[in-house]
């Protein structure tokens, strides 16, 4: 499992967790998200939670997991997780 550093944002957050090397594949992933607005504690929306292929997000040959949140009412802390498997 690979974990991104938490990303804080007042409007939206994008977090990516990358597999450790090019001989790993992202087979699953997830996230943890929290918001600071106690008046609207459930107003954090996940707009994207998906694998990313080898490319710009994680670098050449590295796969990972990407999440995006949408929230206009709170500061959001988002962390992405990638479950990676070694390829043979």
CA distance linking residue 86 with residue 77, whole number of Å: 29
5-48 pLDDT tens trace: 555 555 677 889 999 988 999 999 998 877 666 555 556 778 88
Q: What is the mean pLDDT of residues 48-58?
A: 86
Using pLDDT thresholds of 50, 70 and 90, give the confidence band for residue 76. Answer: confident
Q: Which residues pair with 66 in a beta bridge?
A: 16, 50
State residue 65's pLDDT score.
94
Does pLDDT of 73 surpass 80? no
User: What is the model's pTM?
Assistant: 0.77
């Amino acid at each position: 499992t690979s974990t991104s550093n938490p990303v804080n944002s007042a409007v939206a957050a994008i977090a990516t967790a990358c597999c450790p090397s090019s001989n790993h594949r992202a087979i699953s992933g997830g996230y943890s998200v929290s918001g600071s607005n106690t008046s609207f504690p459930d107003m954090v929306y996940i707009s994207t939670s998906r694998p990313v292929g080898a490319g710009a997000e994680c670098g050449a040959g590295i796969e990972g997991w990407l999440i995006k949140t949408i929230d206009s009412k709170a500061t959001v802390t988002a962390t992405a997780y990638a479950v990676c498997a070694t390829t043979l």
